[in-house]
């Protein structure tokens, strides 16, 4: 291996998570990382390992996943883009490939990530939306949900809002965006940005906000639930279908 | 059959046309009309026949198809909505059911219909878009396409822009909207409204506009092509994937 010839490449990857066991490679399960690595390995003739910025769970989508890998291959970026896609199923697309600085790492260098959770309370969900929008029975009151969402802004210990893997580590994260918006055809979207996420964090926040919308959790009880670090006080984990990794931000020039 | 008890119902139907041989019922082929009729027949115990406002071709989608049928069933509209959907595949959804005036007919009473054709010239099409957006190789110049689109406005004989079935009848139609717009992720959309459509009309207009965008047909040659009534002078028929029936308009109160 000629070290001078080693390149670091940065990929943008979009995928529908419906048919995959999430991002992270798992023996015997189709995962996005596994399929992208297999495509790049086939293309370059090397055993490629990629790092993804966000480890999305089974069924979760990405419109802005970023991944990085190193290679000694001299295939131009355009050839990697077209070649990788030719080996990938249609619900996973490498959207761009660019040269990155030596040492660039998609996860370690990420400053923040933004996720969106889409849901609808209409009686029937359009087939144009059903893969990426969660359909909920019954009415939700959005105003108290918006109030509750504001309490997640800032620096908090999110132990009460994450899965068992998240509770095993330091769960302090800084949330810089937490608010609701609207999209066509009656779709509500909750957007959250943070400097890092924990297992099931977005889906547990969303499941809790749904309970607020149903009047079962008071919007102003969020600070107390955060302080309790008690997972049983938050709401259930919302289904993965509505969740999409939307964007990963890096320091300028990276 | 108690005639006093016969109801006329109006349905809004959304579907992804990808897996269907179009709207119109055909023996031995899965069609949207066939599946909706089967669902309604199962639900009501009658042999239901529905009329659709637009006979979309194989692979064409609808976000605003309207259909009507008569029934002696007393099932409330809400029950028909939920019941029909329970018998339909997920890529076809009855979005609403309402009582219509006696004699209402989804096709005969339609004042105008609007179709949208979506396309992208980006190198890679996101998997979130690939079912309903046509992907084109090479650059297209949109400005001459917009100029050409304007020539379709008004009352014209569209013989040069339709398939063999359309050429067998009076091909004069009035176009009230014909213009380009933009949607997120670099998607271009061409929208056309008319008081009626002919076989392959939208797709032949779009295929011709693509030739204009590639510099192969002059935008100002459209009036001459229309006047020629010669199908060989127009462009090829664009692929169905990008086409969606968006809306059907009726006289007020219908």
B57 in active site: yes
Mutation site, B87, B124, B125, B245, interface A, largest A CB count within 10 A: B124
Across the interface, do A90 and B127 touch by the CB < 8 Å criterion? yes
Q: Which positions in chain A touch B56 (Cβ < 8 Å)?
A: none
pLDDT of B116 over the 90 cut: yes
Please answer whether residues A166 and A200 qualify as being in contact, where contact means their C-beta atoms are separated by less than 8 angstroms. Answer: yes
The stretch A159-180 carries a mean pLDDT of 91
* Residues of chain B contacting A126 with CB distance shorter than 8 Å: 14, 63, 93, 95
Q: How far is CA A47 from the centre of its chain?
A: 26
| Closest chain B residue to A127, measured at CA | B91
Arithmetic mean of pLDDT over chain B? 95
Under an 8 A CB cutoff, do B128 and A132 touch? yes
- C-alpha B19/C-alpha B248 separation (Å) is 23
Which H helix or E strand runs over B154?
A: strand B154-157
State the average pLDDT over residues B8-23.
Answer: 97
Q: Which residues of A are catalytic?
A: 57
State whether B93 and A126 contact (CB < 8 Å).
yes
Q: What is the pLDDT of residue B96?
A: 97
Distance from CA of A4 to the nearest CA of B (A): 30
* Residues belonging to chain B: 254
What six digits make up the tokens of A95? 């959207």
Q: What is the pLDDT of residues B71-104, one digit of tens each?
A: 999 999 999 999 999 999 999 999 999 999 989 9
Size of interface A-B (CB pairs under 8 A): 53
The first and second tokens of residue A110, run together, are: 């990420």
Cβ of B127 and A82 within 8 Å? no
Q: What's the CA angle centered on A106, arms A102 and A107, to 5 degrees?
A: 125
Average of per-residue pLDDT across B96-117? 96
For the cut 60, the answer to whether the pLDDT of residue B1 exceeds it is: no
Of the CA atoms within 13 Å of residue B50, those in its CB half-sphere come to: 29
Q: What is the pLDDT of residues B126-156, one digit of tens each?
A: 999 999 999 998 899 999 999 999 999 999 9
What does the pLDDT average to over A37-47? 97
- Residues in chain A within 8 Å Cβ distance of B87: none
Which is the catalytic residue, given B2, B57, B91, B139? Answer: B57
Residue A3 pLDDT = 61
Subunit contact B127:A93, Cβ cutoff 8 A: yes
Q: Nearest-CA residue of chain A relative to B183?
A: A184
Average per-residue pLDDT in chain A?
95
Pick A248 or A138 by higher pLDDT.
A248
Cβ atoms of A166 and A199 within 8 Å: the answer is yes
Q: Strands B51-52 and B61-71: what pairing?
A: antiparallel
With CA atoms as reference, the chain B residue closest to A78 would be B123
Task: Tell whether the model's pLDDT for residue A26 goes beyond 60.
Answer: yes
Which one of B16, B61, B127 has the shortest CB-CB distance to A16? B127
Asked whether residue A2 carries a pLDDT value surpassing 70, the answer given is no
A131 to chain B, minimum CA–CA distance in Å? 9
pLDDT of residue A166: 75
CA distance A180 to chain B (A): 19
By Cβ distance, the residue of A92, A123, A128 closest to B63 is A128
- Contact yes or no for A128 and B96 at CB 8 A: no
Residue B4 has pLDDT above 70, yes or no: no
Quick one: average pLDDT of A58-76? 96
Q: What is the pLDDT of residues A172-196, one digit of tens each?
A: 999 999 999 999 999 999 999 999 9
User: What's the Cα-to-Cα distance from B26 to each of B32, B40, B76, B165, rounded to whole Å?
Assistant: 10, 17, 29, 16
Return the CA Rg of chain B.
Answer: 19
B194-214 mean pLDDT: 97
Q: Across residues B186-214, what is the average pLDDT?
A: 97
Cβ distance B127 to A91 less than 8 Å, yes or no, reads yes
Q: With bands split at pLDDT 50, 70 and 90, how would you rate the model's confidence at A108?
A: very high
Looking at per-residue pLDDT, the higher value among A166 and B133 belongs to B133
Tell me what pLDDT residue A4 has: 64
Nearest to B94 among A15, A124, A128 (CB): A124
- DSSP strand pairing (A154-157 vs A7-15): unpaired
Identify residues of B whose CB sits under 8 angstroms from chain A CBs: 14-16, 61, 63, 81-82, 85, 90-96, 123-128, 130, 132
Residue A183 is predicted with a pLDDT of 94
Answer whether B51's CB lies under 8 Å from B105's CB. Answer: yes
A9-23: average pLDDT = 97
Nearest Cβ partner of A85 from B92, B96, B124?
B124
Q: Give mean pLDDT, residues B23-48.
A: 96
Q: Is it the case that residue B33 has pLDDT exceeding 90?
A: yes
């Amino acid at each position: 291996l000629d070290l001078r010839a080693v390149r670091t490449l940065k990929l943008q990857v979009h995928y529908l998570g419906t048919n995959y066991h999430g991002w992270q490679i798992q023996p015997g399960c189709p995962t996005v990382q596994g399929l992208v690595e297999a495509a790049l390995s086939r293309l370059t003739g090397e055993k490629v390992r990629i790092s993804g910025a966000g480890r999305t769970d089974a069924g979760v989508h990405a419109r802005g996943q970023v991944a990085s890998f190193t290679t000694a291959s001299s295939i131009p970026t355009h050839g990697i883009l077209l070649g990788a896609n030719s080996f990938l199923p249609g619900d996973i697309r490498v959207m761009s490939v660019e040269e990155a600085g030596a040492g660039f790492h998609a996860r370690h260098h990420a400053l923040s990530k933004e996720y969106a959770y889409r849901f609808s309370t209409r009686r029937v969900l359009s087939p144009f939306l059903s893969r990426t929008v969660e359909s909920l029975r019954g009415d939700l009151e959005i105003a108290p949900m918006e109030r509750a969402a504001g309490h997640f802004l800032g620096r908090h210990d999110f132990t009460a809002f994450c899965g068992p893997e998240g509770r095993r580590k330091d769960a302090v994260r800084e949330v810089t965006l937490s608010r609701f918006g609207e999209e066509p055809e009656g779709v509500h979207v909750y957007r959250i940005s943070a400097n890092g996420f924990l297992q099931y964090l977005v889906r547990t926040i969303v499941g809790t906000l749904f309970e607020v919308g149903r009047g079962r959790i008071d919007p102003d009880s969020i600070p107390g639930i955060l302080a309790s670090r008690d997972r049983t006080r938050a709401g259930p984990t919302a289904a993965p279908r509505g969740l999409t990794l939307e964007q990963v931000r890096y320091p300028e020039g990276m």
